[in-house]
Amino acid sequence: MQAVGIRNRWIWSARILFLLPVALLFFFFFIYPFFFTVFTSFTSWRGIGAMKFNGIKNYTKLITDPTFQKALRNNIVWALSQGLIQVPLACLVAMILVRKPFGWRGLRTIYYLPNVISTVALAMVWVAIYNVDGPLNAILSGLFGMEKHNWLGNPDTALFAVIFQTVIYIGYFMIVLLASAMNIPRSLYEAAEIDGASTLVQEINITLPMLRGTLITTMTLAMAYGMRHFEATFLMTGGGPAYATTTMGIDLYLKMDALRYSEASTSGVFLIIMGTLVITLLRKLFGSSDPMSEMAQ
Amino acid sequence: MMKNSRLIAVLLLLCLLSPLAAQGQAESGQQKEIELRWASIWVGNDSKAPAVEALVKEFNTKNAGKIKVVIEPQPDYNAYEQKVRTSLAAGQAPADIFTIKFNPTTATFYQSDLLMDFQGKLDDAWKSTFDAGSLEQSTVDGMLKSLPMETAILPIWYNMDALKSVGVNTIPATVQQMYDTFDKLKAAGIAPTSQMTGDTNAWTSMIWFSHFAVSLGGPNVWDKPFTDPAFVEAAKLIKKMIQEYSTADAVGLGAGGSGGHFLAGRTAVFSNGPWYAGRADLAATPFFDSIKIGGLPAVGEYEGIMISRLQANICAASSKDAAKEQAIVSFLKFLTSPSSIAKIAETSGAMFAIKTDYRPVNNLQKQFYDVNAAASTTAFDLEAALGSEVTLEFAQQLGALALDRISAEEFCALVDRKIEH
């Protein structure tokens, strides 16, 4: 009995010992910064000098700030476009590629290729494409006689232009969905074929329901990415013109740039709240078929 | 068996510790060399890099065994600024020696105890080498936590080949001449000016705006509210420049694009500091020898004011180690000595807050000195006077102004919102 007790103690000690490095890293790089951010969001602090508690002043200032309101609206547009355009596009391509048409391996690589290219390089390429004298205007003018347009310099088109260049990079989600689609038993399609179901009917009634769990996961990931989007927009427009393309991430960065650390923390807390809200909402909407919730049960 | 293992363990421990003990003895036997880390932006392709490197080498040779300065290259200025900010916020000095762009935003760094206050270190002889105005501008609440090093004037650059091609042989002296010149250039298919609203400061257009504002409101214009008629009028002028006298991509364009247009000969008039004169791609242009540096014709009652700024102030980490602080001061005295500054100026063409007898022979560099000397007075640009947050708002709203989304009055009111009154 005593031997079993000593053994259990050893096992627990070993478990704690193995978990300790990760737990420490998690504490120092996530838990501590998180609570520090929340704490500083209730203060007036410029990164240097003493912090002064100022209650919810930063929050009221943030919510009434027209720039932040634009950023919030843009983030919602980003999240929706990533979740509702990019993922369905990725799904469509995965559904085509899973049927292994001619050259599908090559196409799979081509679709995935942008994901291995640096965001900076891609952003610079797109800036050149969207330039007034760039190839996009040349094509549109050549084909349709359209006037040259400053795509990134016009507040009406800048957000669309920035979103478009990321939405078409469907490779990552396409690969995830393709892998999932390849695991659907062939027998289901064979049975449907015997019953006379067309390809479209098969896709709607077999592939999509079987992919539902993966679709929700990819949609959650895509929308979470949309909520925290920063790099490409910052590189292409810096959030301009007139904050037309700014996001909460850019707003946070620029506040830090101006040494408004406590206000940046408030933006950060808001960003965390919004991200959590989006994920919770998605899981509530599709909870019954979410593989993550199944695992949790 | 157990005894043997213990003996081996003790012997191994002794073997590991003995070199450390030996090193400790060696160090106590001679004076320890002080190593100073300098997070320098004057590296890589920077025009000041070769001279700075040579000076550090010279200092290290002179102080061999006593002080050693090690350059930590910081080629990306934006990343470097982030490093300075985050390090200070995290309670650490970014390096023993580092530089900042001094403006109302970075003046916040003076609240940090991590920065050495030069007020007590600056003896009369050393102090007399600095431009008194620059020293005063770098002093906040009696503290001098950064030494003014590089300064700059921000004049207007004219491609005289382009101007001559439309029959204009001199820099416009009046506003009417300026518009006439720009109209002729436009008619000849050359975009007159390189404007931009992109990046975090709309750099080249910010310089133009600053010229307009000081000409309309005087050298102390930045002390006025941004809703002052001088700023409203300046806003109207910069809008006209972007809408009528610039390239079609000016709204949203970054500094790289703005400079690129001038270098490619697509625009004839540009604005930037003296550091741009040292660029190899500028020297390679066919119009390099025709470039004329000057101001803008006075659009208001104030004439002959040149826009200037403290381009780089040098900071040092405070230290409880008196020997280390002394080493830092020794190096900075060497670096900011007139002879060292003359060497850096000679190779880079940059301008400094340290008085030297150096006068450039290179035509373009010489023009900067001449223009500076000819100015009745100098005034800060918008960013140097009002800080980065105000400049960001200026850049963001400038696009809206140029696209007629907001009026000049609304533009000024939006920028004014960001100024801490």
Can you give the pLDDT at residue B213?
97
Can you give the pLDDT at residue B3?
55
Mean pLDDT of all residues belonging to chain B: 89
Using the beta-carbon criterion (under 8 Å), do B396 and A131 form an inter-chain contact? Answer: no
Q: Is residue B380 part of a domain?
A: yes
Q: Which residues pair with B292 in a beta bridge?
A: B158
Smallest CA–CA distance, residue A152 to chain B, in Å, is 6
Using the beta-carbon criterion (under 8 Å), do B392 and A237 form an inter-chain contact? Answer: no
Q: What's B322's domain CATH number? A: 3.40.190.10
Please name the residue of chain B whose CA is at the shortest distance from the CA of residue A45.
B89
Using the beta-carbon criterion (under 8 Å), do A152 and B397 form an inter-chain contact? Answer: no
Residue A180 contacts residue A214 (beta carbons within 8 Å):
yes
Chain B contact probe: residue of A65, A74, A141, A150 with most B CBs at under 10 A: A150
The span from the CA of B153 to the CA of B368, in Å, is 8
Mean pLDDT of all residues belonging to chain A: 89
Question: B230 and B137 share a domain?
Answer: no
Q: Is residue A51 part of a domain?
A: no
The residue range of the domain holding A268 is 65-296
Question: B147 and B283 share a domain?
Answer: no
From chain B, the residues in CB contact with A150 under 8 A are 248-249, 251-252
Q: Is residue B27 part of a domain?
A: no
Q: Is residue A141 part of a domain?
A: yes
pLDDT at A294 over 80: no
Can you give the pLDDT at residue B337?
94
Q: Is residue B421 part of a domain?
A: no
Largest CA distance in chain A: 89
Nearest to B400 among A132, A155, A260 (CB): A155
Give me the percent of chain B exceeding a pLDDT of 70. Answer: 92
Instruction: Give the three-class secondary structure for A244.
Output: coil
Residue A273: which H helix or E strand, with range? helix A261-286
Can you give the pLDDT at residue A257?
85
Q: Which residues pair with B100 in a beta bridge?
A: B313
B199 touches chain A (CB under 8 A): yes
Tokens 């040098």 belong to B314
The sign one gets for the Cα dihedral B134, B140, B142, B148 is negative
Nearest to B200 among A148, A238, A261 (CB): A238
Residues A154-169: what's their mean pLDDT?
Answer: 90
Question: B245 and B385 share a domain?
Answer: yes
Smallest CA–CA distance, residue B23 to chain A, in Å, is 33
Closest CA to A173 of A221, A206, A209: A221
B4 pLDDT band (50/70/90 cuts)? low
Residue A82, number of CB atoms within 10 A of its CB? 24
Can you give the pLDDT at residue B64?
92
B44 pLDDT band (50/70/90 cuts)? confident
The pLDDT tens digits of the residues spanning B183-199 come to 999 999 999 999 999 98
B397 touches chain A (CB under 8 A): yes
The span from the CA of A128 to the CA of A131, in Å, is 5
pLDDT at B354 over 80: yes
Q: Is residue A43 part of a domain?
A: no
The pLDDT tens digits of the residues spanning B269-306 come to 999 998 888 777 888 999 999 999 998 999 999 998 99
Q: Is residue B4 part of a domain?
A: no
Tokens 């050359």 belong to B190
Question: B145 and B179 share a domain?
Answer: no
Nearest to B252 among A148, A237, A257 (CB): A237
The span from the CA of B325 to the CA of B348, in Å, is 29
Please name the residue of chain A whose CA is at the shortest distance from the CA of residue B399.
A241
Q: Which residues pair with B140 in a beta bridge?
A: B143
Residue B400, number of CB atoms within 10 A of its CB? 22
Residue B214 contacts residue B291 (beta carbons within 8 Å):
no
Q: Is residue B194 part of a domain?
A: yes
Chain A contact probe: residue of B83, B196, B200, B406 with most A CBs at under 10 A: B200
Can you give the pLDDT at residue A297?
40
pLDDT at A148 over 50: yes
Give me the percent of chain A exceeding a pLDDT of 90. Answer: 58
Can you give the pLDDT at residue A168?
81
Question: B330 and B294 share a domain?
Answer: no
The pLDDT tens digits of the residues spanning A226-259 come to 888 899 999 999 898 989 999 999 999 989 888 8
Using the beta-carbon criterion (under 8 Å), do A153 and B111 form an inter-chain contact? Answer: no
Question: B197 and B227 share a domain?
Answer: yes
The pLDDT tens digits of the residues spanning A175-200 come to 999 999 999 999 999 999 999 999 89
Residues B395-402: what's their mean pLDDT?
Answer: 95
Domain count, chain A: 1
Question: B265 and B378 share a domain?
Answer: yes
From chain A, the residues in CB contact with B248 under 8 A are 132-133, 148, 150
Chain A contact probe: residue of B405, B407, B417, B418 with most A CBs at under 10 A: B405
Question: B41 and B115 share a domain?
Answer: yes
**What are the structure tokens assigned to B272, written together?**
């930037």
Residue B13, number of CB atoms within 10 A of its CB? 10
pLDDT at A219 over 50: yes
Q: Is residue B9 part of a domain?
A: no
Residues B224-248: what's their mean pLDDT?
Answer: 96
Can you give the pLDDT at residue B27?
47
Residues near A280 by Cβ (< 8 Å), separated by ≥ 6? none
Classify burial at B223, counting beta carbons within 10 Å of its beta carbon; exposed 0-12, middle 13-18, buried 19 or more. exposed
Tokens 């420049």 belong to B241
Domain count, chain B: 2
Tokens 């979103």 belong to A163
Residue A136 contacts residue A129 (beta carbons within 8 Å):
yes
Please name the residue of chain B whose CA is at the shortest distance from the CA of residue A262.
B89
From chain A, the residues in CB contact with B111 under 8 A are 46, 48-49
pLDDT at B200 over 90: no
| HEC secondary structure over chain B | CHHHHHHHHHHHHHHHHHHHHHHHHHHHHCCCCEEEEEEECCCCCCCCHHHHHHHHHHHHHHCCCCEEEEEEECCCHHHHHHHHHHHHHCCCCCCCEEEECCCCCHHHHHHCCCECCHHHCCCHHHHCCECHHHHHHCCECCECCCEEEEEEECCEEEEHHHHHHCCCCCCCCCHHHHHHHHHHHHHCCCEEECCCCCCCCCHHHHHHHHHHHHHHHCCCHHHCCCCCHHHHHHHHHHHHHHHHCECCCCCCCCHHHHHHHHHCCCEEEEECCHHHHHCHHHHCCCCHHHEEEECCCCCCCCCCEEEEEEEEEEEEECCCCHHHHHHHHHHHHHHCCHHHHHHHHHHHCCEECECCCCCCCCHHHHHHHHHHHHCCEEEECHHHHHCHHHHHHHHHHHHHHHCCCCCHHHHHHHHHCCCCC
The span from the CA of B131 to the CA of B372, in Å, is 14
Q: Is residue A21 part of a domain?
A: no
Can you give the pLDDT at residue A115?
86
pLDDT at A78 over 90: yes
Q: Is residue A16 part of a domain?
A: no
The residue range of the domain holding B53 is 34-153+309-352
Q: What's A231's domain CATH number? A: 1.10.3720.10
pLDDT at A153 over 60: yes
Please name the residue of chain A whose CA is at the shortest distance from the CA of residue B396.
A242
Question: B223 and B338 share a domain?
Answer: no
Q: Is residue B105 part of a domain?
A: yes
Using the beta-carbon criterion (under 8 Å), do A153 and B109 form an inter-chain contact? Answer: no
Give whole-number Cα distances, B407 to B216, B251, B397, in Å. 19, 16, 10
Q: Is residue A5 part of a domain?
A: no
Q: Which of A67-71, B28-32, B51-55, B350-354 has the lowest mean pLDDT?
A: B28-32
From chain B, the residues in CB contact with A237 under 8 A are 198, 252
pLDDT at B7 over 80: no
Question: B244 and B167 share a domain?
Answer: yes
Can you give the pLDDT at residue B357?
84
Task: State the helix-helix crossing angle for A208-227 and A66-81, rounded to 10 degrees.
Answer: 160
Chain A contact probe: residue of B85, B87, B242, B247 with most A CBs at under 10 A: B85
Q: Is residue B10 part of a domain?
A: no
Can you give the pLDDT at residue B132?
86
Using the beta-carbon criterion (under 8 Å), do B85 and A259 form an inter-chain contact? Answer: yes
Using the beta-carbon criterion (under 8 Å), do B89 and A238 form an inter-chain contact? Answer: no
Residue B288 contacts residue B282 (beta carbons within 8 Å):
yes
pLDDT at B6 over 70: no
Q: Is residue A7 part of a domain?
A: no
Residue B38 contacts residue B72 (beta carbons within 8 Å):
yes
Can you give the pLDDT at residue B346?
84
The span from the CA of A247 to the CA of A228, in Å, is 8
Count chain A–chain B contacts defined by CB atoms under 8 A. 92
B10 pLDDT band (50/70/90 cuts)? low
Residue A245 contacts residue A254 (beta carbons within 8 Å):
no
pLDDT at B164 over 90: yes
Nearest to B89 among A47, A150, A152 (CB): A47
What are the residues of chain A with a beta carbon less than 8 Å away from any beta carbon of chain B? 46-49, 131-133, 148, 150, 152-155, 158, 237-243, 254, 256-261
Question: B273 and B303 share a domain?
Answer: yes
Can you give the pLDDT at residue B73?
92
Can you give the pLDDT at residue B171?
94
Higher-confidence residue of B226 and A280: namely: B226
**What are the structure tokens assigned to A126, written together?**
């797109």
Residue A139: which H helix or E strand, with range? helix A135-144
Nearest to B389 among A133, A152, A258 (CB): A258
Can you give the pLDDT at residue A49?
80
Nearest to A241 among B108, B387, B396 (CB): B396
Question: B113 and B258 share a domain?
Answer: no
The span from the CA of B213 to the CA of B234, in Å, is 5
Residue A43: which H helix or E strand, with range? strand A43-44
From chain A, the residues in CB contact with B405 under 8 A are 155, 242
Using the beta-carbon criterion (under 8 Å), do B251 and A154 form an inter-chain contact? Answer: yes
Can you give the pLDDT at residue B14?
60
